[in-house]
Amino acid sequence: MRQLCMPQGLSSDELSKLETLICSARSVQRGEALYRSGDRFDSIYAVRSGSMKTLMAHRDGREQVTGLRLAGEALGLDGISEDVHACSAVALEDSTVCIVPYGALKRLCREISSMQERMHKLLGAQIVREAAQMMMLGSLSADERVASFLLDVSERNAQRGYSSAEFNLRMTREDMGSYLGMTLETVSRTLSKFQKRGLIDTQGKHIRIVDLPGLRQV
C-alpha cells in the first residue's frame, strides 16, 4: 500500500503519519457506487484491489464513463472544487479502497511539505491525463482510440508491476465505448479487426497484446 498511495519523497516518519490518517478501508461490490455525483465530498480514495469507473451525467440524464481506475490509483478528486462530487464512482468488480479523509490530509500537507508536493502532483497529473483524453476524443479515429486505450491500460499495468501484455479489462464494451466516445458495436468491431490483423488476442474481457509495435502505429 505504501508504494501505491503516496510513493515518493516521504521519510518513514512521514509515512507513519500518513498511515494514521488512512483510518479505514471499504469494500465495494461489483456495480455498487463508492460515491455518487452530488454526494458531499469528504474523502479521497485509493483503489486497493479491483477496479472502478467514474461516470458523469449530462443535464438530460445520459451518463458517460469519464475514467477508469486500477488498483493503486487515486479516486475522488472531482469533489475538491465544490465540496460535492461531480462524478460517480462505480466498482467494475468486487473491490476495496482506502479512505483518506480530506480534512486530515490537508492538515498533513501543511505540516509536511513533501506531502503538499505529492498532493499537488496528484492533482496536476489528473489534469494532464484528462487533457490527453480530450485530445484522444477530439482528434483520433475509432481505431486509434481503441489502440490508444489498450496501450494506456497496458502501460498502467506495467507501472503497477503486472503484465503489460495480458490483462483483464472488467469494463463492458458499452463502458469502453462510452469512455472512448463511440458505440459498443464499433468497439466490438474494432477489437475483432485488431484480432484478425494479429495485433491482439481477445476472449471477452481477457485481452492479450500480441504485436505491441503494430498496435502503436495503428
Q: Which positions lie near DNA, rule CB under 7 A?
A: 30, 141-143, 172-174, 181-189, 191-192, 202-205
Using the rule CB under 8 A, is 131 a contact of its own copies? Answer: yes
DSSP state of 30: T
Residue from 7, 9, 31, 124 that binds its own copies (CB under 8 A)?
124
Within residues 14-53, the interface with its own copies by CB under 8 A covers none
Residues in contact with 137: Cβ distance below 8 Å, sequence separation at least 6, in sequence order: 145, 180, 181
Residues 62 and 51: beta-carbon distance below 8 Å: no
Residue whose CB is less far from its own copies, 137 or 158: 137
Distance in Å, CB of 181 to DNA, minimum? 6
DSSP string, 56-106: EE-TTS-EEEEEEEETT-EE-GGGTTTTB-SSEEEESSSEEEEEEEHHHHH
Distance in Å, CB of 203 to its own copies, minimum? 27
Instruction: Choose among its own copies, DNA, none what residue 78 binds, the Cβ cut-off being 5 to 8 Å by kind.
Output: its own copies
DSSP string, 147-207: HHHHHHHHHHHHHTTS-SSEEE--S-HHHHHHHHTS-HHHHHHHHHHHHHTTSEEEETTEE
Instruction: Choose among DNA, its own copies, none what residue 173 binds, the Cβ cut-off being 5 to 8 Å by kind.
Output: DNA
Using the rule CB under 8 A, is 213 a contact of its own copies? Answer: no
Residues 200 and 208: beta-carbon distance below 8 Å: yes
Using the rule CB under 8 A, is 155 a contact of its own copies? Answer: no
Q: Binding residues for its own copies, per CB under 8 A?
A: 56, 58, 62, 64, 66-67, 77-82, 86-87, 106, 109-110, 113, 116-117, 119-121, 123-128, 130-135, 137-139, 178-181
